[in-house]
Amino acid sequence: MRCEHDRDARRTDLDDSHGLAEAQCLACELGSTKWTLGFTVAPAQRPRLRQIPAGDVAALEREIVAAKMRFGLAIDAPVRSCYEAGRDGFWVHRWLVAAGIDNVVVDSSSIEVNRRARRAKTDRLDASKALLLRWAGGERRVWSVVHVPSPAAEAQRQLTREIATVGVDRTRVRNRIHGLLATQGIRLELNARFLVRLAEVRTGDGQPLPTAWRARLEREWAHMKVIEARLRTLTAERAAQIAEGQDRVAQVARQLCTVRGVAEVSAAVFSAELFGTRTFSNGRQLGAVTGLVPVPYRSDQRVQDQGISKAGRAEVRAAGAATRLGLVAVAADQCLDPVVPGTV
């Protein structure tokens, strides 16, 4: 009886030290078909695991209420939750916050894992639960929390991201056409006369191009033309927004276009991904978004620079490189002082 009393007392002290005596902690693992929920109120307590269909917020609300009843908490007891940033984006976070739940979205790469041996994937939920308890107790370095953008900020980033996606699709189709031609020993430029030359071309061994090959190449060519038309439409929309838009992203982009070496493409990316939709408290936050954070290696007597992390938005780094090249070109044309590498 005394051992049980001491154990209960230690558990109560531990709960009170974390400020979790009257709070429920929820760790969510969001899958494509089902969500796994882990409820707990104490660090040493085995979590209450439940599975619900993906996206069923009504079932999620019922499970939260059922877990409170199971742990003997009041219906209005606070709930602290977390889930890893992924394909579900931030709508789940907004629903949880609207329901009065203190939620954090976690960078999955920042969660502590056991590196000694192979670990089961199911351990991830237990790790999230344990780290959530530590986060609720006041520790702020157990993981990295994602800054959730507003719905308006998310919407304003879609145009530049769509342009980047369509550009990748165009490159993929062009490479596929070149690859198909190469398998038949054919080299053709993808210009306005492509279809005319395709009807007359012969394979590398001098044979006529089979009808099936020609038909597929014509369909791939038509596909690429549709992608290029979409890209032209998006580019024109971007130019119109920069010229006439009244939102913050358009205004910041117009201001950036006045900077030497910055044109519409770079200005739109910098505005949508950085200065028009985000605010930064320090240089570390800016470096995290851009991926321009140094990654040193310091172990015993070995000192090595591993370059930059490249963990942020790749299009921002590409726009920065393009801006630097533009500055070099402007300096060369105007006989100005050259841009020193590493200063832009």
**Using CA atoms in the order 340, 341, 342, 344, what is the torsion angle rounded to 10 degrees?**
70
State residue 41's pLDDT score. Answer: 87
What distance in Å separates the CA atoms of residue 316 and residue 313, rounded to the nearest whole number? Answer: 6
Nearest Cα neighbor of 60 from 105, 29, 84, 90 is: 29
Report the Cα 244 to chain-centroid distance in Å.
Answer: 29
pLDDT at site 337: 52
For the record, the structure tokens of 81 come out as: 């939750």
Could you tell me which of 262, 215, 221 has the C-alpha nearest to residue 242? 262
- The pLDDT assigned to 117 comes to 55
Sign of CA dihedral 241, 246, 247, 249: positive
DSSP 93-115: HHHHHHTT-EEEEE-GGGS----
CATH code, 2-148 = 3.30.420.40
Q: How distant is the alpha carbon of residue 289 from its chain centre? A: 10
Angle in degrees, CA 272, 278, 279, rounded to 5: 145
What global pTM score does this model have? 0.79
102-151 pLDDT, tens digit per residue, is 999 988 777 666 666 555 555 556 556 666 666 666 666 777 888 899 99
Per-residue pLDDT of the chain (344 residues; tens, 9 = 90+): 444 444 444 444 444 444 445 788 898 889 899 999 989 888 777 888 899 999 999 999 999 999 999 999 999 999 999 898 889 999 999 999 999 999 999 887 776 666 665 555 555 565 566 666 666 666 667 778 888 999 999 999 999 999 999 999 999 999 999 999 999 999 999 999 999 999 999 999 999 999 999 999 999 999 999 999 999 999 999 999 999 999 999 999 999 999 888 889 999 999 999 999 988 888 888 888 888 888 888 877 788 888 888 888 888 888 888 888 777 776 676 655 555 444 44
User: Using CA atoms, how far apart are residues 40 and 23, in angstroms rounded to an integer?
Assistant: 9
DSSP state of 247: S
Per-residue HEC secondary structure of 197-263 comes to HHHHCECCCCCECCHHHHHHHHHHHHHHHHHHHHHHHHHHHHHHHHHHCCCHHHHHHHHHHCCCCCC
Predicted confidence at residue 22, as pLDDT, reads 77
Please report, for residues 117, 235, 313, the alpha-carbon distance to residue 157 in angstroms, rounded to integers and kept in the order given: 41, 14, 12
Task: Return the percent helix, strand and coil in the chain, to nearest 5.
Answer: 50, 15, 35
- Token match 């619900």: residue? 52
The domain locations on the chain are 2-148, 154-244
For 178-188, write each residue's pLDDT tens digit.
999 999 999 99
